[in-house]
Amino acid sequence: MNLILLGPPGCGKGTQAVNLVKKYDYYQLSTGDMLREAVANETQTGKIVKDVLASGKLVDDELIIKIMEEKLIATKSKPGRIFDGFPRTLIQANELEGLLKRYQMKLDLVIELVVDQHSLLERILKRAKESEEKRDDDNSVIVKKRLEVYNKETKPIVDFYSSKYNLNKIDGMQSIQEVSNTIENLIENKH
Ligand code: AMP
């Protein structure tokens, strides 16, 4: 099972991905988490991306695709993968098609969590306050930038997936449990 969770920062992708990892032993491929880990460990990649992450802009497609390819290979034996925060550009979406073909994998589900734009800033700032993990990009100026970048660079991939796949839109304003139930139903129906 390979599934993509699409949606803006703060829509609940991470929360839902963690739930699917627990329930189905899928692997969460969160590029944001991978990049933050690289920054924390001060790796070569971490040094390259640190300032980009703090600015709210996107990391180069080429670097992201390289990281993703390594992770696809490393997780080949997992029963499923959840793409969380990837792809984020049309280039990444096209490259993912090529990668999946190369490693004899296919995309089973594409899910978009639809959330009211006005509530995103509030949601992210609330999450930041409650979370133990402090992020450099969780202040209101950078969050606004991240939302702007999402609308400009990532939103077009919703059309890409609607035309190529059956895009499942879920109302992300529902409770976490309701969203989880809907996602799990979609997964069960694929089995
Ligand atoms: P996230 O945790 O998904 O909100 O990602 C945090 C930051 O990591 C983003 O604002 C980008 O700077 C970077 N990032 C994460 N995923 C990607 C991606 N697929 N392409 C480019 N940059 C990314």
Q: What is the pLDDT of residues 136-155, one digit of tens each?
A: 899 999 999 999 999 999 99
How open is the CA angle 63-29-32, to the nearest 5 degrees? 60
pLDDT at residue 89 tops 90: yes
Is residue 144 part of the annotated active site? The answer reads: no
Is residue 123 part of the annotated active site? The answer reads: no
Pick the range with the lowest mean pLDDT from 78-92, 123-137, 149-163.
123-137
Count structural domains, the chain.
1
Under 8 Å CB-to-CB from 157, ≥6 apart: which residues? 6, 87, 88, 89, 90, 92, 93
Is residue 36 part of the annotated active site? The answer reads: no
Average pLDDT over residues 117-123: 91
pLDDT at 191: 75
- CATH assignment at residue 49: 3.40.50.300
Average pLDDT over residues 7-19: 96
Under 8 Å CB-to-CB from 86, ≥6 apart: which residues? 29, 30, 31, 64, 68, 92, 96
Domain that residue 180 falls in: 2-190
Ligand 1 atom closest to the Cα of residue 36 is 8
Q: Is the CB of 88 under 6 A from ligand 1?
A: yes
pLDDT at 117: 87
pLDDT at 160: 97
pLDDT at residue 45 tops 90: yes
Average pLDDT over residues 124-138: 90
3-state DSSP assignment of residue 12: coil
Under 8 Å CB-to-CB from 88, ≥6 apart: which residues? 31, 58, 64, 153, 154, 157
Distance 36 CA to ligand 1 centre (A): 9
This prediction has a pTM of: 0.96
3-state DSSP assignment of residue 105: coil
DSSP class of residue 58 equals P
pLDDT band at 190 (very low <50, low <70, confident <90, very high): confident
Q: Is the CB of 179 under 6 A from ligand 1?
A: no
Q: Which two tokens stand for residue 163?
A: 């035309």
Q: Among 103, 110, 105, which Cα is nearest to 86's?
A: 110
